[in-house]
C-alpha cells in the first residue's frame, strides 16, 4: 500500500492552514504578488534545467508521442465533457469546472518516468513523451480551457497571453541561459525541487485563503468530495484501459505500451496549480484545484500498483 507522499501532505497542510488562518486584505495582495514571482522563477528554472535537444528527441517516435498527446489533450477532454453532459447535476459547477480543467492538463514528467522504470517500460520514450506533453501544455491547456469552459463561445486570447507572460516567457529565458546555468541547476536538484514544491504549496495556500474568505467550505460538502473522487477514479480507470488497448492495436512493444499507459493517463499537479492561478478568477481557484489534488493521489496509488504488476509479470 502506497502512503501519502510528503508533497501531498504539504498541500493538505496548506489547505488546513488556509481554512483556519486565511490570508486577508493587503497581506493577501502581497502574497499573490509573491506567488506570481515564485511561479515565474519555477518555470525559469525548469527551462534552464531542460536540455534544448530534448525537445527534438521528443518527436522521434512520432506514433508513441502522438498517441500520448492525443490521449492527454483529446481523449481526456472528450471523457470529461461526456461525463459533464451525462451527469450535469452530479457536482456543483465549480467542481465540474475543476474536473474539466484537470482534463486539459499535460502529463507528469517525474512520476511517469519513475513508474515506467519500475514497470520495465520504455524509459527514454516516457521522458520524451512527458517532456513534449508539458511543453505542448503551456499552449494547449489555456486554449482547451477557453474553448471547453466557454462551451464553444467567443474565444479570447487573454488566457494565452497570461500564460505566455507568466509561464512561457520565464521558461524560454531559462532555455536561452541553459548553457550558463543549466549545470548549476542540475547540481542542486534538491534545492530546485524544494523551490518548485514550495511555490506550489504557496499557490495552494493563497488560493484557498481566497476561497475560504469566499466561503468554499459552505459550498463544498463531504459528498461533493466523495463524488469527485468517484469521477476522478472513472476518468483514470477509463484512460488506463483505453491506452492499454490502443497500444496493442497499434502494435507497440510491451515496453512502449507501458510508456503510453503511464504518460497518457497522468495529469500534472506541478503544472496544473500554477496554471489554475493564472487562468481562473482568484475566488474559484481553490475549488478548481480540488479535483486535481484528488486525482494526483489516485494516479500515484493506482499506477504504482499497476507498475508493480507489470514488473512481476515481466519476471523482474
Cβ atoms of 157 and 147 closer than 8 Å: no
CA neighbor of 15 nearest in space, from 293, 296, 298, 276:
293
Q: Which segments within 66-126 are labelled E, that is strand?
A: none
Size of the chain, expressed as the number of residues it contains = 316
Distance of CA 83 to CAs 143, 232, 246, 285, Å?
20, 11, 21, 21
Q: Are 144 and 104 in contact (CB under 8 A)?
A: yes
5 pLDDT band, cuts 50/70/90, is low
The whole-number pLDDT of residue 316 equals 47
| Residue 315 vs residue 28, higher pLDDT | 28
pLDDT at 130 over 70: yes
- pTM to 2 decimal places: 0.78
Q: Mind listing the pLDDT tens digit for each residue in 85-123?
A: 999 999 988 899 999 999 999 998 777 877 888 888 887
Q: Which residue has the cell 497499434?
A: 250
> Beta-carbon neighbour count of residue 247 at 10 Å?
21
Cell of 177: 541561459
User: Which domains does the chain show, CATH number per domain?
Assistant: 6-309 (1.20.1530.20)
Among the residue ranges 171-185, 186-200, 252-266, 269-283, the one predicted with the least confidence is 186-200
pLDDT at 223 exceeding the cut of 80: yes
Q: Residue 217 pLDDT more than 60?
A: yes
- Whether the per-residue pLDDT at 39 is higher than 60: the answer is yes
* pLDDT band, residue 303 (cuts 50/70/90): confident
Contacts made by residues 43-46, CB under 8 angstroms, sequence distance 24+: 43/166, 43/167, 43/168, 43/170, 43/171, 43/174, 43/274, 44/170, 44/171, 44/173, 44/174, 45/174, 45/185, 45/192, 45/195, 45/196, 46/171, 46/174, 46/196
Place of cell 525559469: 44
Amino acid at each position: 500500500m502506497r502512503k501519502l507522499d510528503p508533497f501531498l501532505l504539504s498541500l493538505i497542510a496548506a489547505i488546513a492552514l488556509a481554512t483556519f488562518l486565511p490570508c486577508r486584505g493587503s497581506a493577501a495582495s502581497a502574497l499573490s504578488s509573491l506567488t506570481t514571482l515564485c511561479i515565474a522563477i519555477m518555470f525559469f528554472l525548469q527551462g534552464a534545467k531542460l536540455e534544448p535537444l530534448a525537445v527534438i528527441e521528443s518527436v522521434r517516435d512520432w506514433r508513441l508521442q502522438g498517441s500520448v498527446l492525443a490521449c492527454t489533450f483529446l481523449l481526456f477532454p472528450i471523457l470529461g465533457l461526456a461525463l459533464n453532459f451525462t451527469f450535469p447535476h452530479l457536482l456543483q459547477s465549480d467542481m465540474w469546472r475543476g474536473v474539466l480543467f484537470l482534463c486539459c492538463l499535460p502529463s507528469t514528467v517525474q512520476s511517469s518516468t519513475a513508474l515506467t522504470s519500475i514497470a520495465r517500460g520504455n524509459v527514454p520514450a516516457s521522458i520524451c513523451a512527458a517532456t513534449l506533453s508539458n511543453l505542448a501544455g503551456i499552449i494547449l491547456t489555456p486554449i482547451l480551457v477557453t474553448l471547453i469552459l466557454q462551451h464553444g463561445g467567443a474565444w479570447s486570447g487573454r488566457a494565452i497571453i497570461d500564460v505566455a507572460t507568466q509561464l512561457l516567457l520565464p521558461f524560454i529565458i531559462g532555455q536561452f541561459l541553459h548553457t550558463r546555468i543549466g549545470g548549476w541547476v542540475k547540481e542542486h536538484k534538491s534545492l530546485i525541487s524544494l523551490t518548485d514544491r514550495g511555490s506550489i504549496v504557496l499557490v495552494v495556500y493563497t488560493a484557498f485563503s481566497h476561497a475560504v474568505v469566499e466561503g468554499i467550505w459552505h459550498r463544498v460538502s463531504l459528498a461533493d468530495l466523495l463524488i469527485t473522487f468517484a469521477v476522478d477514479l472513472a476518468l483514470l480507470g477509463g484512460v488506463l484501459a483505453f491506452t492499454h488497448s490502443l497500444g496493442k492495436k497499434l502494435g507497440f512493444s510491451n515496453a512502449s505500451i507501458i510508456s503510453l499507459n503511464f504518460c497518457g493517463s497522468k495529469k500534472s499537479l506541478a503544472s496544473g496549480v500554477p496554471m489554475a492561478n493564472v487562468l481562473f478568477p482568484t475566488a474559484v481557484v481553490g475549488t478548481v484545484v480540488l479535483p486535481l489534488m484528488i486525482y494526483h493521489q489516485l494516479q500515484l496509488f493506482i499506477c504504482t500498483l499497476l507498475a508493480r504488476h507489470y514488473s512481476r509479470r515481466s519476471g523482474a
